[in-house]
């Protein structure tokens, strides 16, 4: 039975339930599970997901769970809280972000790097006040490059700027 065929929403539930299973075990499990066993797994997963509270994930929320604010997180990453705020709101162009930033965020926040990538790739989070005052109803969000954000930031040391930009600073 292919879970993609009939129940696309239930695939997410199954993936959530199976996320704690090691990849090598997952293939074996899915090959050996019967249709009725898979349906029971989906049913159990549905009740768990329906009863769970939805919590919006963000870089700042993840840092807070670990007892850090954005300034503390910034010290770990050699970035200012302002740059991390822009990153958290997804106001920096993804294509300009260095690969090691994703890796360092994942290591520091103790989440999979794919989770960081997926979050950063979401559309920009536009504060409600800006949305309310936009003439057309939707504000024009201009994304900044990572390099420009670092060069414009006063709260970052020359050493940290050089760490991220090398000889471009």
pLDDT in tens, 25-83: 656 666 777 778 777 777 776 666 565 554 578 999 999 999 999 999 999 999 999 99
Round to whole Å and give the CA distance between 11 and 4.
Answer: 6
Going by pLDDT thresholds of 50, 70 and 90, the confidence category of residue 5 is very low
Domain extents in the chain: 3-51, 59-168
pTM: 0.62
Q: pLDDT per residue over 111-132, tens digit each?
A: 999 999 999 999 998 766 555 4
Where b means 16+ CB within 10 Å and e means fewer, 106-125 reads bebbeeeeeebeebbeeeee
Residues 29, 30, 35, 38, CA torsion sign: positive
**pLDDT given for residue 133 in this prediction:** 52
Q: Average pLDDT over the chain, rounded to whole?
A: 79
Query: Which of 11-20, 39-48, 103-112 shows the lowest per-residue confidence on average (mean pLDDT)?
Result: 11-20
């Amino acid at each position: 039975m292919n879970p993609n065929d009939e129940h696309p929403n239930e695939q997410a539930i199954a993936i959530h339930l199976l996320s704690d299973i090691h990849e090598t075990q997952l293939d074996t499990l899915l090959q050996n599970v019967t249709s009725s066993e898979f349906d029971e797994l989906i049913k159990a997963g549905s009740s768990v997901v329906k009863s769970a509270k939805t919590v919006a994930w963000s870089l700042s929320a993840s840092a807070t769970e670990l007892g850090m604010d954005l300034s503390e997180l910034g010290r770990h990453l050699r970035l200012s809280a302002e740059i991390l705020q822009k990153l958290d709101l997804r106001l920096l162009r993804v294509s300009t972000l260095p690969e090691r930033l994703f890796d360092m965020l994942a290591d520091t926040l103790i989440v999979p790097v794919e989770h960081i990538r997926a979050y950063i790739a979401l559309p920009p989070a536009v504060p409600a006040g800006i949305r309310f005052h936009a003439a057309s109803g939707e504000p024009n969000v201009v994304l900044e490059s990572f390099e420009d954000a670092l060069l414009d930031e006063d709260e970052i040391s020359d050493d940290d700027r050089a760490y991220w930009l090398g000889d471009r600073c």
